[in-house]
Structure formats: structure tokens, C-alpha cells
Amino acid sequence: MSFTVFLGNLPTWVTADDIKQWLAAEDLVADAVKVIRNHETQESKGFAFVEAPTNDEMQSIIRRFDRAPLEDRLLRANPAQPPKGKDAPRAAAAPASQQPAAPNALRTEPRPDRKKRGGRNREQSPRSAFAAELAKVL
């Protein structure tokens, strides 16, 4: 079972060693710390994952670092969510012959409920004064 903490809103200069030092200063234990970096620039993306050995240790890390001030920001700490994306379970796709056809796949004439600009359905009345001014310009 994984006890991983998401630690967010970090300044870009923060390293895994910095986080390990912060944890040690508070007598908190982490099995691993991973600061997430941009693959191209190697600059921190501003968040990290801290693996705790137990649920109690995970909760202690969250209590200590959630909303803790660092420079001009407040850190965020909460239990990490399971990854979404390529490792997430997928539903089996039906063969193409059994999938329904796209409703507009053969449509060639414009739809009467859409305006020509951008093909998007635009509301008739703006929601705010800013939207009203923007509508005048567009």
C-alpha cells in the first residue's frame, strides 16, 4: 500500500535534498522524495511526491506542510491521487462496425443553431459587463 504525499506550490529552486532536510528537521521520515521536473529544461514544475512508510507518517507530513508558508506562497500537501492516463484501466473498444457513426459525420450544410464565426454556439446575452464589451468588439 502506498502512502504518498503530493507537495505542491513549491518554488522552482526547491530540490529533493531540500525537502529531505525539511523532513529531518521535523523528525519526519520519508522513504523517497521526487521533485517533478520539465523534461526539456529540467526546471522544477513546482510540485513533488513524498513517499512515507506508514499512514500515520503520511498524515504527519501533510499536517506539517499543508498551508505552510514558504517565501510568498503557501505550500499544499495532501494524499497523492493515483495516476490517470496511460496506466489507467481502459474499457475494451467495440469493433468499428459496431460503433455508432458520428452524428455529424456526413453533414455538409451548416447547422441552423450555430453562427458562422468559429462554428460555436454563442449566447445572445453576455454574462458580465466585460463580456458585453468584448461582444461589441467581436
Mean pLDDT of the chain: 79
Residue, of 113 and 40, whose pLDDT is higher:
40
Reported pTM = 0.60
Domain ranges of the chain: 4-79
Q: What is the DSSP string of 30-91?
A: -SEEEEEE-TTT--EEEEEEEE-SSHHHHHHHHHHHTT-EETTEE-EEEEPPPP-STTS--P
Residue range 12-68, pLDDT digits in tens: 999 999 999 999 999 999 999 999 999 999 999 999 999 999 999 999 999 999 999
* Predicted confidence band of residue 127 (pLDDT cuts 50, 70, 90): low
Task: Tell the burial category of 87 from Cβ atoms under 10 Å away from its Cβ (0-12, 13-18, 19+).
Answer: exposed
More reliable by pLDDT, 64 or 99: 64
Read off the pLDDT band of 124 (50, 70, 90): low
One-letter amino acid for residue 58 of the chain: M
Cα 100 to Cα 57, 81, 97, 128, distances in angstroms:
50, 34, 8, 40
CATH topology of domain 4-79: Alpha-Beta Plaits (3.30.70)
Mean pLDDT throughout 99-118? 51
